[in-house]
Amino acid sequence: MKGFKRSGLTALTTAFTLSLVLSGCGSNNDGGNANSASNADKKNETTTNNANAGTADTGNAKNGTANDSGAESSKLEPYTIKWFVPGAAAQKDQSLVNEEVSKYLKDKINASFELEVIDWGSWDDKMNLKFASSEPFDLLYTAAWNGFTTKITQGNIIDLTDLIDKYAPDAKAVIEPALLEGSKVNGKNYGMPINKEMASQNGIMLRKDLVDKYSIDIASIKKLEDLEPIYDMILEKEPGVTPFYLNKDISLLNVWNTNHFDTYGGSTGGTLPLGSTDFKLIDGLETPEAKAGYELINKWYKKGYVNKDAATLQDLSGGLKAGKAFSYPEQLKPGKDAEVSTQTGQQWVQVELTQPLITTGDTQGSMTSISRTSKDPSRAMMFLNLLYTDKYLVNLIAFGIEGKHFKKVGDNVIDFADGITAQTSGYNLNQAWLFGNQFNDYLWKNEDPQKWEKFKVFNQSAKKDPLLGFVFDPTNVKTEVAALTNVGKEFNSGLQSGTLDPNVYLPKYIDKVKAAGIDKVIAEQQKQLDAWRAANQ
């Protein structure tokens, strides 16, 4: 987990500048295979019957067995579905879970299963190498913030539109239509959006034990500056605890930006000031609001609120689990505090500091795409059809093996298996937002029983960005976009962590962005934005 990155402590992306823009928007066996779910349980938890779940038009075009009325598993040649996702680290019991999934898939689509978790810190580099070497694999996590449109323009992920209609009609029927529509690029689906919350809301997570100890009134925290007297108290009374814990990819700017800019995306280029009525894009770095945000985090760093290694730290989870942090910034949704409490073994409470908003980047915030190197895209899509409709399957992948990694304490409620904790479990991804249909997920016993109902209310009540659906195509300025990305790598972590003085380094950043071609990129974005608005008004 790279700072619960990007959907998890997640879609927290670099601030101002390069991310304030238009969006084109592994393991060992520790012994014991304890799958205690009976066949009856599996049958009851499968939301589609066996004739339909995974066999709806399950013809294999590659093997010449396509059949519009559906094909039985026995008519499909054996195939291994290989899937890469980012996470905190490889899971110790990954091979055990993969084995159980493979057993389950054999009678469904005659497939074996290999899921591999790549740590956030090396995710981009490793996936780029896999594409460069044309390594065969089927599925990967994609998102607007993580170069989704670049993967499309490079031809590394394929158009799924027809595959969804042909091999995943059941999945399509359960995915929120706005997610499928909003995640399209030029009218085509290149990713299957995870069926989950659609809106984003930024805020702060606080350690519950210290909130209780000092009777902190979290309802009084309305803006970032309200945290300063609380942080002063933590510095004085809790030696060894960092008031505001950051890594190289997250910052208070994630909250600050949302309150000052319309950031409707996650790629490189121009910024739209919040409340703009002329829809004219600018270089956000040059605004007084941007400078004020950088100055605030720099002040916090100098006062000792921020951990000294924030500009280089890859992963927050170690510090959170060890009790080193009092607070950190987080992308929020109903029940996010309970999710993080389960993941870290430390109890947290959340404080919302922005209003829920649905942007194009949010609809593209967590997706599964099919690699151009897949040897059987149709089989991969059959698997996705199952993933979105089969309750047993999605919970097996999300939470592991019943009896070994978790136990049921209610019809839809789970806890860690006996003798297991968040720290000792061999399979504790705690990233269910990566997989299929979250509305089929079990709830941990510390979670709100009404969580999924609140998700629906959250989605329905969120404000829609006026540019929801706009996607920037960087093809005409891909050289400049690459150059700007490299400039961002030079400055972002230092500035957004507060380590670098913005009075010294922000002007240098602006100069290098200019030299890299920001004006050309903004001009191309403006051209596409104007055309999109004209066609959609």
Rounded to 5°, angle at Cα 456 from 430 and 83: 35
Q: What is the pLDDT of residue 387?
A: 97
Residue 504 CA to residue 475 CA, distance in Å, equals 34
Q: What is the pLDDT of residues 306-323, one digit of tens each?
A: 999 999 998 888 899 999
Exposed (0-12), middle (13-18) or buried (19+): which is 143, by Cβ within 10 Å?
A: buried
pLDDT band with cut points at 50, 70 and 90 for residue 267: low
Buried b (16+ CB within 10 A) or exposed e, 457-491: ebbeebeebbbbbbbbbbeebeebbebbbebbeeb
Residue 61 CA to residue 465 CA, distance in Å, equals 40
* Look-up of token digits 């290989």: 82
Q: What is the pLDDT of residue 310?
A: 96
Residue of 424, 395, 396 whose CA lies nearest to 92: 424
Sheet containing 413-416: give its strands across. Answer: 406-408, 413-416, 443-444
Residue 143 CA to residue 160 CA, distance in Å, equals 15
Domains with residue ranges and CATH for the chain: 36-197+363-461 (3.40.190.10)
Residue 126 CA to residue 106 CA, distance in Å, equals 29
Q: What is the pLDDT of residues 448-474, one digit of tens each?
A: 888 888 888 888 888 888 888 888 888
Q: What is the pLDDT of residue 31?
A: 32
Q: What is the pLDDT of residues 245-265, one digit of tens each?
A: 999 988 888 888 888 787 555
| Contact between 475 and 294 (Cβ < 8 Å) | no
Residue 228 CA to residue 127 CA, distance in Å, equals 40
Q: What does 188-222 look like in DSSP terms, one character per residue?
A: B-SSEE-BS---BEEEEEEEHHHHHHTT--GGG--
Residue 313 CA to residue 71 CA, distance in Å, equals 50
Asked whether the predicted pLDDT for residue 116 surpasses 60, the reply is yes
For the chain, the residue count is 537
From residue 62, how far is each of 65, 79, 456 by CA, in Å? 8, 11, 39
Q: What is the pLDDT of residue 34?
A: 32
Name the DSSP letter for residue 287.
S
pTM, two decimal places: 0.70
* Look-up of token digits 């012994």: 31
468's CB contacts (< 8 A; 6+ apart) are 182, 264, 358, 359, 360, 363
Residue 477 CA to residue 517 CA, distance in Å, equals 9
Residue 505 CA to residue 511 CA, distance in Å, equals 10
Q: What is the pLDDT of residue 456?
A: 83
Asked whether the predicted pLDDT for residue 128 surpasses 70, the reply is yes
Q: What is the pLDDT of residue 230?
A: 98
**Which of 8 and 228 is assigned the larger pLDDT?**
228
Q: What is the pLDDT of residue 150?
A: 86
Asked whether the predicted pLDDT for residue 61 surpasses 50, the reply is no
| Contact between 491 and 16 (Cβ < 8 Å) | no
Residue 359 backbone dihedrals phi, psi, to 5 degrees = -120, 170
Asked whether the predicted pLDDT for residue 136 surpasses 90, the reply is yes
| Contact between 139 and 130 (Cβ < 8 Å) | no
Residue 109 CA to residue 48 CA, distance in Å, equals 14
Q: What is the pLDDT of residue 259?
A: 80
